[in-house]
Structures are given as structure tokens and as C-alpha cells.
Amino acid sequence: MPQRPRSVRSLSVLLLAGVALHSAGAWAKPARPEAPVVETSAVGPVDDHPVLREIAAQVDPAQLHATIEKLVSFGTRHTLSDTGSPDRGIGAARAWVKSRFEAISKDCGGCLTVVTPAQAVSGKRVPTPTEVMDVVAVLKGTEEPQRVIVIAGHLDSRVTDVMNATADAPGANDDASGVAAAIEAARVLSRHKFRATLVFAALSGEEQGLLGGKVLADYAKEQGWQVEADLNNDIVGNTQGEDGVVDNTHVRVFSEGTKAVETLKQANQRRYSGGEVDSPSRNLARYMDGISTRYLDNFSVRMVYRTDRFGRGGDQVPFLEAGFPAVRVTEAHENYTRQHQDLRTEGGVRYGDTIDGVDFPYLAQVTRLNALTMASLAWAPAPPGDVKVEGALKHDTTLSWSKVPGAVGYRAWWRDTLAPTWQHDRWAGDAATVTLPNVVIDDWFFGVAAVSKDGYASPVVYPGPAGSFVAVPDPAGP
């Protein structure tokens, strides 16, 4: 969902920038090309939904606190910890999450199906074969059940030594916060019916090598799911960094720039014609940015143009490697004394991932962002397929696409090649092509979104394999 209109803060920044350019005088850079005015007879359905504000209001910080408090009570949730005890270890934690999903399902008349996909795994951080099990609740879509939107957090925790499976590892923020967000999203969204399927997941094995993410990605492929979005929430509850700076108004959304499954031929095409900043994951991040701008007060997305934090990883990676769009959601200002640490006080500094390091009103805002994104995506049509753009040696640009079920029309978008978000749009109606007069293809990036009769829009799809929301193989032949 592209942003419109811009916030007052953004306007202030633009005004300051204008003053600076005026002061620079002749030294200012030439202005970027202005978007021509494109006449249109209709603007399409209005993209404003009071029900999303109602969903946001239903997210409860007290529920999030209760979930994290319970998960911390299991002592450690290390992947290699006890699976037989009823009150300590990863087994007890998984059983409790399963019971929580089942209780939510009971409240909605059995609307959730709870499954526990698992694989036996061994490797560098799993020296003996160990069952890695995820706990997953599925809210089946009414019209497109195979189209799936996922929210996930990882249940396992750790201390300084990644192989220490016995020491207390509360993991309140890393990543009970993400699991709490998934459970609370399930509680709130289970009160509604959606066109597409919603999946709420508590993953295991992240700290031992992103194992739970792979288990779920493999399960998705086995089930034939068409995963439109995986929202991986990992470390989403802290607001104060080691430097004392508090940021409770932003959350970072990391997204890959080029597809992990891109072929060599597709990469060569992209390097020439563009698409480096328009993977489906990147446009999913833009969609979340638009959700925060429109529906959340004093809370915004900071898009980061990386798959993950520098030199680090998360459970979104196995989804990307499976060809599914995915992002990582992480707090704005991390505190590394609270991550992967033995519980101790050293040099006057308290180390360890304890519950007092979680800011629950902030976590509630992150949860709202996730829940609204999932609801909006699931009520919207699927992203249009086979999006193409042409206009070489012309003053006009033409976009075309394949229609999708549930769409009453399509909106063409374009933006300056240096702009982070979509800027200009034209309603195309129920057509499969649109021509933009006097919009020169060389100067802009283009995309198309599908729109439902009540105004829910899909993410914008950039043309070609680089932007497609499904993995596209190379055509046959030379």
C-alpha cells in the first residue's frame, strides 16, 4: 500500500530541503522530471478501512505481557533442551503454545487448524539427530485458501554459548516477543473471515541455524501454499539501546533487493533494465510502510534495504530461498547486552534477555502493524501476474498484466528512480492494460496493484521476473 498523503514530518523535511536548495543557488542540482498530469475518469475504490482501525484497537499489551511471562517461565527454550518435562524446556513451551492456539480456536468456533510440522535435523549446532518442531495455527481463507500470509516468531532461546541447553535462557525479547505478536495476531484476527489464508507460527531451531523457518517453508511447499508474504518478527519488543537512546516510534523492516532464487538470465536482464530495489519482498516492505502511515499514530516503518542486519540472519531466509516473499521485522534500536547473553551483572551492567527489557506498548504497536498488514493483504486480491512494461523510443509508457480473482480494477503506479516509495498513480479500471501518456519509460519505475470492490489493494508488482510475487522460471529454449 503506497503512502499517500505524506506526513507533516515529511513535509517539514521537504520544506527544509527546499530552503537548502534555495540557499545553494546556482550550485543546486537540476530538478528531477515532474510526473505529467494523466487524465482519468475515475479514481477507483477508496482505500480507507475503519475495520482496520478496529483491529488495531483490539491488540492488548496485557495479552502480550501474559504470553511472554509464560514463555519465560519455562526456564530455557533451547532447541536441544528437555522435551519431556511439563514445565521446563522447549517441549513444555511448544505444548503451551499449541494449547493457546487451541483455546483461541475454541473461542472462534473452531476456526483455526493447529498443526505441528517437524523434521529430524542434525548439523554443526545440532550434534545428534533432534526433532525440530514448529507450532502453527491456520485460519483458512474463504475464497483463495491456497494463497497464504504468514506471521512467525521463533520460540527457541539461547545464552552466550549457543550449545548450552541447560542454563536459564529467558529469551523474553529474542524471541518471545515475536511469538507473542503471532499469538496476539491470531487472537484478534480469528474474529474475522478473510479471502486468503492466514498462518500464525511459533518456530523452533532458529538459533541453531534457521531450522524452524526451513521446516515451515518446506511444509508450505508440500501443502501447495502460494505464500504471498512471510512476516518474520524477531526481536521486536525493546526500545532502549545500550547508549540509552529510546526509540519507541519506529520499527525496521528488512527486505531483500534481488530475489534469492533469481536465475543468471534474469539477473542479466535486471542489471540492464532495473529491478534491484523492487523485489516482491521490497514492495511488501513498502506496503507495510503505507499501512503504518495510514493507520498507526506516531509509529512508522523504517525500511532497510538488506535481507537482514549486517552479517546476521533470521527465519525469513529459508522462505526467500524457497521463492516466497518475506521480510524481517525488528525493533529500531537493539540492545546487545540483552541478546545471546548469560544472566549476570558485570562491570555494573546487567546482561540477559529478561522480561523487564520489553516495552509492551511498543510491542503492541509492532503487533498492530503485523495484524493490519495481514488483514489488508488477505482481504485484497492477489498481486497481478505477468506484469509487463513497454515504451522504448516512445513518449508514452504501456503496462499490461494478467487479471486476478476478486479484483474490480487495477492501479498503475510509478515513481522517480531515486524515490523509496511509490509516488504517482492512475486508476485503470477493469482492464488488463493501461497507457500513460507523456510518461517516458526511461525516467521512472513502474508497477501495478490489484484492487477489490471495497478498496483493499495488493502490493505493487514491478514488471518482469524481478518483481513477480511467484518464482518465474527462465523460458524454454536458447
Which percentage of the chain shows pLDDT scores above 70? 91
Burial tier of 403 (Cβ tally within 10 Å: 0-12, 13-18, 19+):
middle
> Residue 10: is its pLDDT beyond 60?
no
pLDDT digits (tens, 9 = 90+) for 271-297: 999 999 999 999 999 999 999 999 999
472: confidence class by pLDDT, cuts 50, 70, 90: confident
55: confidence class by pLDDT, cuts 50, 70, 90: very high
pLDDT digits (tens, 9 = 90+) for 135-189: 999 999 999 999 999 999 999 999 999 999 999 999 999 999 999 999 999 999 9
47: confidence class by pLDDT, cuts 50, 70, 90: confident
The pTM of this model reads 0.91
> Residue 478: is its pLDDT beyond 80?
no
Give the mean model confidence (pLDDT) for residues 372-393: 97
Q: Strand 135-139 to strand 112-115: parallel, antiparallel, or no bridges (unpaired)?
A: antiparallel
Residue 169 β-bridge partners = 76
42: confidence class by pLDDT, cuts 50, 70, 90: low
Q: Could you tell me which residue, 331 or 39, shows the higher pLDDT?
A: 331
473: confidence class by pLDDT, cuts 50, 70, 90: confident
Burial tier of 174 (Cβ tally within 10 Å: 0-12, 13-18, 19+):
buried
Write the single-letter amino acid at 22.
Answer: H
| Predicted pLDDT of residue 403 | 98
Cα 416-287-399 angle, rounded to 5 deg: 50
Give the mean model confidence (pLDDT) for residues 453-469: 97
| Predicted pLDDT of residue 121 | 96
| Predicted pLDDT of residue 157 | 98
Kindly report the average pLDDT of the chain as a whole number.
92
Contact 217, 319 (CB under 8 A): yes
pLDDT digits (tens, 9 = 90+) for 250-268: 999 999 999 999 999 999 9
Give the mean model confidence (pLDDT) for residues 190-209: 98
Give the mean model confidence (pLDDT) for residues 196-205: 98
- Segment among 5-9, 85-89, 272-276 with least mean pLDDT: 5-9
- Segment among 13-27, 55-69, 302-316 with least mean pLDDT: 13-27
> Residue 39: is its pLDDT beyond 70?
no
29: confidence class by pLDDT, cuts 50, 70, 90: very low
> Residue 244: is its pLDDT beyond 90?
yes
> Residue 22: is its pLDDT beyond 80?
no
| Predicted pLDDT of residue 44 | 87
| Predicted pLDDT of residue 2 | 67
Which percentage of the chain shows pLDDT scores above 90? 88
- What's the rounded Cα separation, in Å, for the pair 358 and 352? 12
Give the mean model confidence (pLDDT) for residues 48-70: 98
| Predicted pLDDT of residue 474 | 87
